[in-house]
């Protein structure tokens, strides 16, 4: 009922399991790209805060419904966070545009993570399948982590892997919900 106390139980930063559930495996990357919608904001902010004291430079984009939804995050030197207000735009539109612009301006980072040969991506039906690819292998200077609505994540996946040739081992994609659908139980 309204006003009732709730208790949330889970690992904190002192727990050996404090990083579980994030699927964050940058493997020595010095440049990271983080992108997601409001559902990924807690994970992205946690990742950004974990970069203090490292030599990792992060560029993060978080799409939220309105500008007022932006939160303050203490960033490590060399890291940036851009809150993208969706307002009347389609879900993911501002996020995809921001990542596309970043890719065009950051070709040198993408080239450092290029696959040896062109990679084909399975055409995942995001209405039926979970898009979750968080490789733990691959070492390099660049790593991308993207999460949120499945069709948006699928578009970002194609942008990085197929359009820009980034090796799949350097990118984590987690499309864990689908606009207009209830949670899958199968």
What is the count of structural domains for the chain? 1
The distance of Cα 171 from the centroid of its chain, to the nearest Å, equals 9
Q: How far is CA 13 from CA 22, 46, 53, in A?
A: 13, 11, 16
Model confidence pLDDT, tens digit, residues 58-70: 999 999 999 999 9
Domain that holds residue 146: 31-177
Summarize the confidence of residues 161-180 as an average pLDDT.
Answer: 84
Per the model's pLDDT, the better-predicted residue between 123 and 4 turns out to be 4
Whether 182 is covered by a domain: the verdict is no
User: Where do runs of H (alpha helix) occur along the chain?
Assistant: 41-50, 93-105, 107-111, 150-157
Structure tokens at 186: 């199968």
* Position 28 confidence tier, pLDDT thresholds 50, 70, 90: confident
Whether 94 is covered by a domain: the verdict is yes
| Residue 151 to residue 84: CA distance in whole angstroms | 18
Structure tokens at 173: 């994609």
Please name the residues in contact with 114: beta carbons below 8 A apart, sequence gap of 6 or more: 165, 166, 167
pTM of this structure: 0.81
For residue 146, pLDDT over 50 is answered with: yes
Whether 184 is covered by a domain: the verdict is no
For residue 174, pLDDT over 50 is answered with: yes
Whether 186 is covered by a domain: the verdict is no
Whether 132 is covered by a domain: the verdict is yes
> Can you give the CATH number for the domain in which 91 is found?
3.40.50.80
| Residue 177 to residue 185: CA distance in whole angstroms | 12
Whether 13 is covered by a domain: the verdict is no
Model confidence pLDDT, tens digit, residues 45-91: 999 999 999 999 999 999 999 999 999 999 999 999 999 999 999 99
Whether 7 is covered by a domain: the verdict is no
Residue 177 near residue 120, CB atoms below 8 Å:
no
Whether 14 is covered by a domain: the verdict is no
């Amino acid at each position: 009922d309204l006003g009732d106390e709730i208790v949330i139980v889970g690992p904190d930063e002192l727990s050996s399991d404090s990083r579980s559930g994030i699927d964050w495996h940058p493997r020595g990357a010095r440049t990271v790209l983080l992108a997601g919608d409001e559902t990924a904001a807690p994970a992205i902010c946690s990742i950004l805060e974990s970069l203090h004291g490292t030599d990792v430079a992060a560029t993060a984009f978080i799409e939220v419904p309105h500008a007022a939804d932006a939160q303050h995050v203490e960033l490590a030197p060399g890291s940036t966070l851009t809150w993208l207000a969706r307002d009347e735009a389609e879900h993911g539109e501002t996020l995809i545009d921001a990542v596309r612009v970043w890719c065009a301006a950051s070709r040198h980072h993408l080239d450092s993570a290029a696959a040896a040969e062109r990679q084909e991506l399975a055409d995942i039906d995001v209405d039926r399948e979970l898009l979750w690819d968080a490789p733990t292998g691959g070492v390099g200077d660049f790593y991308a982590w993207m999460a949120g609505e499945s069709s948006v994540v699928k578009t970002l996946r194609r942008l990085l892997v197929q359009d820009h040739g980034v090796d799949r081992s350097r990118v984590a994609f987690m499309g864990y919900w689908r606009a207009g659908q209830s949670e899958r139980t199968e």
